[in-house]
Amino acid sequence: MSSTTDKVAGVADKAMGNVKEVLGKAVGSEKLQAEGLAQKAKGDIEKGVGDAKSSIKEGANKVVDAIDKKL
């Protein structure tokens, strides 16, 4: 997946996790609350992966640019 795809998936999972957690609290379902917390954590991880990919790509581009300037 691309970094943007990872970030979007992360934000979507985090949002759905929030909905599940709140709904679980409202109806008294510990299972739904736990699912929401797990999905929020998954979203945080996906967004982190996307951020890391972006940082690596930026760093690689800077290295390539620096090499091109020296050639």
Residues 22-49: pLDDT tens digits? 999 999 999 999 999 999 999 999 999 9
Q: Which amino acid belongs to residue 33?
A: Q
pTM: 0.80
In the chain, domain spans: 3-70
Average pLDDT, the chain: 95
CB 50 within 8 A of CB 58: no
Answer whether residue 1 shows pLDDT above 90. no
- pLDDT for the residue numbered 13: 98
Q: What is the DSSP letter of 21?
A: H
Q: What are phi and psi of 2, to 5 degrees?
A: -80, 165
Q: What is the DSSP letter of 28?
A: T
pLDDT band at 71 (very low <50, low <70, confident <90, very high): confident
5 contacts: CB under 8 Å, gap ≥ 6: 50
